[in-house]
Structure 1
Amino acid sequence: MPGSPGRRAGRRRALALALLALATCAAPARPPGKPPATTAATADTTATTGTAPTVDAKDTVDAQDTVDITPGTCGTGWQHPRPGPQRFALRNGAAVPVDARLTDPRTGAVYGEVEGVAPGTTRPLRVRLGAGSYAFACLPEDGDAVTGPVVRLGGHAAPGPAARPVTRAELIPATLDYQRWTARQLAGLARATAALRTAIDHGDRAAARRAWLTAHLGYARLGGAYGAFGAAGRAVDGTTAGLPGGVHDPRFTGFHRLEYGLWHGEDGPALRRCAARLDADVRALGRTWDQTRPAPEALVRRVQEIPEDTLHLELAGRTDYGSGTGRATAGAQLDATERVLEPLVPLLRTRYPGLAELRRRLARTRRDLEHAQHRRLDADFGDLVERLAEVAAVCAVRRAA
């Protein structure tokens, strides 16, 4: 299930832009596709580098302070510091795009950020301030980071949520753990596709269908590695999307090609060749995986992309070629999500207060996969997509300020 590259590109950008929607961590489930309500701890992050719009009249009126994020004057203009919700207008007078963060200068924890403020434009940033010290960090494109003056607020008000940025070095152990696990799973997958090939060679359709499901679910549980598989992954689990010949296109191979054949009465040499090709492709994946070095950033993205694909592909029936096993595949992809999340938990314990609630929602989704109606599952996975987007934002590797 390679997913939709066009849709993913926007999602990946959104993860880099959306900062820590932690104040919504314990919010009730939302219908799929409905954006979460904006909170005081959430940055307005609708634009991309080089194309950010200027702040409209309402944004200008609402902003308490206009703060310069030009490297030479980073953090100046904050004239009225006070506790509670604040809306800054971040103004970039530099000749290059600038990322801006409001940080705790002592710990580096980030309260809010806006990425890619274009030259000559202004972007809003909403945060909730409490007692403590604050400083803006300005990170120009292709330039050194600059930290502005420290602003201290007294009193006893609690600040909004913040999280210390995750470093690439912190993600490497999680990535290595997942790489070793995937290697073991690929060895088991090769045994499963060999059994599938044997059943098809013997003409035992019932056994072949059972073996197909076992092998396909095994592949679905490898969701965190799909991006690293590349073209080899598309050969193993690609669909007819983009193929002019549809199910009869010679480039349609792998699990779904066999699914179509097994559930549409196909037999003979063509089906046996497909099974042999799948078996060979899976074994090739195992050999090349030993030389593959997955990027930690890619693993973080996959924690949200796996349930997103489940929602838009499996639960929508877009990957069903006759077996009717979409719900079983969704369960395997939920396994994949939890497996990618597992090595990130040590990083999340001190950064993501919604971790316990996320685990409860994962457990509820698993229960609903057994009995719930389709609409309930859509809501479950839509809710997980939003929560895991927060996880991915918290764990995203950021430039050092």
Structure 2
Amino acid sequence: MSDPEPGSGHEPAEPDEGPGMPVRGRRLIGRRTAAIVVVAAVAAGAAAYALASPGTSADAKRPAAKGPTVVEVAQGACGNGWSGATPGPQVFALHNTSSTPAEVDLTDPATGAVYGEVEGLAPGTTRELRVVLGGGSYAFKCLPDDADAVVGPTVTIAGSPGGGGPAAVPVTQHDLIPVALAYQQWITARTVELSDRTDELKRAVDDGDLAAARDAWLPAYLVYERMGAAYDQFGEADGAINGSGPAPSAAGSAQGFEGFHRVEYGLWHGESAASLRGPADRLAQAVHALRDSWPQQRLDPAQLGLRAHEILEATAHAELTGRTDYGSGTGLATARANLDGTRELLTLLRPLLTTRYPDLPRLDAWLDRTQHTLDGFGAGGHWTPLDRLGHQDRQRINSDIGQAVELLAPVATICDARRTA
């Protein structure tokens, strides 16, 4: 049964196989909670194709995989041991006979597309790689540490092309550098906007106008929330501006509680302007320091795909649970800003994803659906607090963001920079 269209009112079925990415014989990256690991693993295509299982339900009509086929991994013997197969599930036991660790990729020798990979294969060790292959030509590529890549013999599987698992041409560090530079410039503009809006918040607190301060708090905070892919690069500034803080129920007596959430707590819990001048001033100082230091920072290009997935993953863990609501009731506004941040990064990554991720249009459709859902709870800038949502509304929001997180997981894996030589 095909997935329902976004907006149809039906929840999506869990897919048997995830879309658009090769098998990975290593852990999924960027997991923060066990529940999210399960959701993301389904979406991660062959990464969800568990190494201990013979295949997914989509392979039920294919013959069971034979094997494993022992394949040698060494500079002078990459791919030895595999000479042919019939279409369907394959199990390879990759055995490193060399003296150095190596990455091993199963590739299309004509295009370089990767069907599966194992990283960090230590000398003298063996690890399994499971893939589903259709008719076509394949070759193992061995990439030893501190040595050039070696491509093994080409093996041809008779049969119609296609019918196998997904594959993607590797994204390299060089491919990601223009993305990182463009995103760095975008963040530069946001730090200026953040500084200006935080100054408005500080002025309102200094003037003793707490109503104006409450009006100024959310626009300033949302600017910061849209910058989620750069948080790791902010270092200590992130803690001073947007530290996770204590549990909301313990915020009143917490020591060292600073940043946007400290000001939020005071504004919505009846604190005086005098008591908030210090926190607002320290927040403004931290924001200005970030703005001034940011031009000297350099983003790690290899992290951008992972961040595209992590932004909404963290939203599901924090904003949708009320963990970061210190009184303003604007968790859904924050989730909407996180969605904006995700889409900005996807816009920059799109040239790399268009030819590598067949489910990109479906991801776009679910992001549109999620945006529409969230916007329905923020009419006129008045956001519905989480604790006032009905059960069905909560389910719909959780489902939409959960599906978006699932479809973003392949972006993290596809854009994980790989060696090709």
CA distance in 2 between counterparts of 1:247 and 1:271 reads: 13
Structure 1 residue 356 and structure 2 residue 376: aligned?
no
- Structure-to-structure mapping, 1:154-303, within 5 angstroms: 154-158=158-162, 159-241=164-246, 247-303=252-308
Deviation at 1:57? 11
Structure 1 residue 107 and structure 2 residue 111: aligned?
yes
**Matched position secondary structure for 2:160:** coil
**Matched position secondary structure for 1:34:** helix
CA distance in 1 between counterparts of 2:82 and 2:283 reads: 61
Match of 2:150 in 1: 146
Structure 1 residue 379 and structure 2 residue 399: aligned?
yes
Amino acid at match of 1:334: L
- Structure-to-structure mapping, 1:95-134, within 5 angstroms: 95-134=99-138
Structure 1 residue 395 and structure 2 residue 415: aligned?
yes
Identify the range of structure 1 (75-84 vs 33-42) with the bigger mean alpha-carbon deviation: 33-42
Deviation at 1:383? 2.0
CA distance in 2 between counterparts of 1:387 and 1:131 reads: 27
Deviation at 1:62? 4.8
**Deviation per residue, 1:296-337 (Å, 9 max, x gap):** 112222101101110111111111111111111000000000
Q: Does the CA-based 8 Å contact 1:43-1:127 persist in structure 2?
A: no
| Percent pairwise identity | 49
Amino acid at match of 1:128: V
Deviation at 1:43? 4.8
Q: Does the CA-based 8 Å contact 1:103-1:134 persist in structure 2?
A: yes
Match of 2:93 in 1: 89
**Matched position secondary structure for 2:335:** helix
Match of 2:15 in 1: none
Q: 1:57 to 1:392 in 2, by over 3 A?
A: closer
CA distance in 2 between counterparts of 1:35 and 1:99 reads: 27
Deviation at 1:252? 1.7
Q: Does the CA-based 8 Å contact 2:20-2:356 persist in structure 1?
A: no
**Deviation per residue, 1:260-299 (Å, 9 max, x gap):** 1111111143310111111121111111111111111122
Deviation at 1:351? 0.8
**Matched position secondary structure for 2:178:** helix
CA distance in 2 between counterparts of 1:66 and 1:74 reads: 12
**Matched position secondary structure for 1:136:** strand
**Deviation per residue, 1:27-82 (Å, 9 max, x gap):** xxxx9653467799615788xxxxxxxx8798998535221223342211114322
Q: Does the CA-based 8 Å contact 1:85-1:126 persist in structure 2?
A: yes
Q: Does the CA-based 8 Å contact 1:19-1:112 persist in structure 2?
A: no
Q: Does the CA-based 8 Å contact 2:304-2:415 persist in structure 1?
A: no
Structure 1 residue 34 and structure 2 residue 38: aligned?
yes
CA distance in 1 between counterparts of 2:208 and 2:334 reads: 25
Q: What number of residue pairs does the alignment pair up? A: 368
Q: Does the CA-based 8 Å contact 1:22-1:354 persist in structure 2?
A: no
CA distance in 2 between counterparts of 1:32 and 1:57 reads: 21
**In angstroms, what is the RMSD of aligned CA positions?**
3.0
Amino acid at match of 2:196: R
CA distance in 2 between counterparts of 1:247 and 1:122 reads: 55
Gaps of 5+ in 1: 1-17, 24-30, 47-54
CA distance in 2 between counterparts of 1:299 and 1:333 reads: 15
CA distance in 2 between counterparts of 1:217 and 1:202 reads: 23
TM-score scaled by length of structure 2: 0.79
Amino acid at match of 2:141: A
Deviation at 1:217? 0.8
Deviation at 1:248? 4.2
**Deviation per residue, 1:137-194 (Å, 9 max, x gap):** 1223344322211112343231432111112121111111111111111111111111
TM-score scaled by length of structure 1: 0.83
Match of 1:314 in 2: 319
CA distance in 2 between counterparts of 1:330 and 1:315 reads: 8
Q: Does the CA-based 8 Å contact 2:229-2:341 persist in structure 1?
A: yes
CA distance in 1 between counterparts of 2:79 and 2:199 reads: 62
CA distance in 1 between counterparts of 2:99 and 2:19 reads: 25
**Matched position secondary structure for 1:290:** helix
**Matched position secondary structure for 1:373:** helix
**Matched position secondary structure for 2:115:** strand
Amino acid at match of 2:85: P
Identify the range of structure 1 (164-173 vs 34-43) with the bigger mean alpha-carbon deviation: 34-43
Identify the range of structure 1 (331-340 vs 250-259) with the bigger mean alpha-carbon deviation: 250-259
**Matched position secondary structure for 1:86:** strand
